[in-house]
Amino acid sequence: MSFADQFAFRDRLEGIERKGTLIGIALVTPAVALVLVTIVYPFLNAVQISFTDLGTGQFVGLEHYQWLVSHDGFWTFTWYSIVWTVGNIVLQGAFGIGIALLLHEKFFGRDAIRTVMLVPFVVPTAVTAITWRWLFNSSYGPLNYWAVEFGVLSGAVNPLTETSYALATVTLVNVWRWTPLVALVVFAVLQTIPQEEYEAARVEGAGLLQEFYHVTVPHLQGSLTILGLLGVLLTFNIFDMVWLLTEGGPVGVTTTLPVFIYDIAFNLQNIGRGTAVSVVLFLMLVAFVVAYFQQEEFKGGTFG
């Protein structure tokens, strides 16, 4: 090949690379624009509002943030949010995996059960909350009636209005709602695990627990990692279920940060402070995501 041919070939390669780069930029640009419009701009606007007294339109600097860090309720409600989130993730994971393992076994009516299992997930949140409030009602709720009838309780108790049980009760209702989704995802992964791996484990003398740990868990790890990340982000931000069940009560024991934000911004009509809490919540979740992505599954790009 002559020098002229080599230069021509190199020019063609560079042209192809430039074309590929332009195509890549063209494909990425809409996604970047969408992120800027739906995430970056609203966040920057929220930051601006958090530095402003909307009543007077005056710039107040860090006044709202100083109020925030000195407000005992903020730290208390942050702790409630963490307890709420961890409780949901752990219980949804445990129940979801357990249900998926049961559905993975072949038995009569499995398909029907799998279909019915999705009902809690597809029922609207408002309907779910109203139903559970009726079930727990101390005057006419069927759960209290039967609990007293069978001697489980000496008297009717509404756990949604008891400070000792309210947060746990709201957590269990939300677990009931979201566990089917976890079970469905885990069940789908279980269906892809080759039976040969289980047979090989049995040949090696593995028991049920060893099969689960050495065969099932490695296949579930990637899906559970993603579910864990999405679960934390979604659960930490849940407002509707908590508000519809308890409105943050009794005496604030179910007030998570989203409920706290709503209360400050709309009930107390202090948009600046409410927005400041929103900004802090957003930054907390961003920090969690950054830390979460340090896991080996993300670093190595392995999700099998």
Closest CA to 256 of 78, 20, 68, 18: 78
Q: How confident is the model at residue 2 (pLDDT cuts 50, 70, 90)?
A: low
Each residue's pLDDT tens digit, 135-155: 999 999 999 899 999 988 888
Q: How confident is the model at residue 304 (pLDDT cuts 50, 70, 90)?
A: very low
Rounded to 5 degrees, what are φ and ψ at 53?
-90, 105
Closest CA to 81 of 293, 288, 291: 288
Q: One-letter amino acid identity for 47?
A: V
Least confident of 32-46, 48-62, 71-85, 189-203: 32-46
Q: Which has the higher per-residue pLDDT, 201 or 11? A: 201
Q: How far is CA 192 from the centre of its chain?
A: 25
Provide the whole-model pTM: 0.86
Q: How confident is the model at residue 80 (pLDDT cuts 50, 70, 90)?
A: very high
- Count CA atoms closer than 13 A to 179's CA, side-chain side: 22
Each residue's pLDDT tens digit, 50-72: 999 888 889 999 999 999 999 98
Q: How confident is the model at residue 28 (pLDDT cuts 50, 70, 90)?
A: confident
Q: How confident is the model at residue 1 (pLDDT cuts 50, 70, 90)?
A: low
